[in-house]
Amino acid sequence: MKAFLCAVVLLCAAACAAARAGFPAPQATLDAEQAAVARQVLVMLRLPPQHYRPDAAYGSNYPNDGGQAARRRVALELARTHGLKLVSNWPMPVIGVDCYVMEWAGKEPIEPVLAALARDPRVEWAQPVSLFQGLEGGDPLFRLQPAARDWRLAELHRASTGRKVTVAVIDSGIDLEHPDLAGQVALHENLVDAGATVAEAHGTAVAGVIAARRDNGVGIAGIAPDARLMALRACWETEGKPARCSSFTLGKAINFALMHEARIINLSLGGPPDRLLQALLDAALARGVLVVGAIDPQRPAGGFPASHPGVIAASAAAPAAAHGAIAAPGTDIPTSLPGGRWGFVSGSSYAAAHVSGLAALLVELRPGASAPVLHQTLREQARLAAQHDTAERGRKGGLAGSMDTCALLARAAGTCVCPCSLRSALSPPSLRQPAPGYCAGEASTGKAAGTISSRAAALPPPC
């Protein structure tokens, strides 16, 4: 079993190398460290008693048999005998051993090698290398987030958190003092009236999905928790009614976002085509700004601005592919609400917020990439997933509308972000590989349409 797990990690390394061909990337270390640790063992050789230790400040011509050079010769002989490579060592006199790190290059299970080392009289003991992690406060509602499960969000955050990427949330008012949003808003402006920014439900919920603080001991974790939010109130709410916006307030907000160099604009709203907003969106796209819009399933072509050319359309509903949209989590999403509260929300507004957060992760990894390239990267990954899921629907009951976010970030980072997002990472867009994210023997997750899944829920844990 362990050999299988380690082979999986080695395949990930191959996937990363192939991914670079399709999307050149900086030198990656994330999974290289995991792969190296998975192949390593620790071999303890006994140190001689303290007063007989010639390599511990002994100045006379003492025989070398018990010294460091002799132990190294023994270690090299052990490595050759058992098919290992000597990597490093560190004497630990407080416990009387010299600890040697050796690397296993074989494909067979490593347990027999460890057992053979343990039987050797020259070896004090041998063991695999273990991995540990820091214990942080965490987010109590994290496990309830669909993105935590389907997008493997914790693993994505090891590669990118959207650091320093400015996302303009053009929406109703955001609760700037909410525990999950305090300090997350770099700039805010009320473009509805002359009053102060007020805390309203829709804007606060959208902002939480995008950039809620992580590991702060409360609430949730945003998709891009280190992004810088630009909170632009262009919509208003009345009791019991959805948020309302006008083309004027929205126009002011888009203009403000462009004047203050937003990298991503989130528009979790929909309505009829509008010439002013069309012109502003064209200006945003010409400046290289990524614009994300929510699909309105009640309107032709998904409504505006999602239908505007160049806008990244997002939907929580099954017909997402019909509108050329990216399907994202949008049902029963835990997120922040005004008054320091949390609650569950549903709708394409929150699917758009997920995609904006995902775009921020990409921008951090690829700050120099153009908006069309990033947009095409998202669309291509979604297309591959839809193509694969459509085939799976007839074969195994899978449903269309999922995307391997691990493979998506792997292409941008140049390294395997999650264990075993193999086929998408191996295949650049030109290869049209129709099976994203599947490892050998992996079963379909059977997720419902409208979710973005890493397609790796059935995988064993990483080596």
Q: What positions carry a catalytic annotation?
A: 171, 202, 349
What HEC string does 374-419 produce?
A: HHHHHHHHHHHHHHHHHHHHHHHCCCCCCCCHHHHHHHHHCCCCCC
Whether 395 and 438 have beta carbons less than 8 Å apart is answered as no
Question: Other C-beta atoms within 10 Å of 105: how many?
Answer: 8
Backbone torsion region of residue 209, taken as left when φ is above 0, otherwise alpha when ψ lies between -120 and 50, otherwise beta: alpha
Whether 99 and 92 have beta carbons less than 8 Å apart is answered as yes
* Parallel/antiparallel/unpaired status of strands 312-315 and 326-327: parallel
Q: Look up tokens 């994300």; give the residue.
A: 292
Rounded to 5°, the CA angle 428-433-437 comes to 90
Rounded to 5°, the CA angle 390-395-399 comes to 40
Q: Which residues pair with 231 in a beta bridge?
A: 169, 188
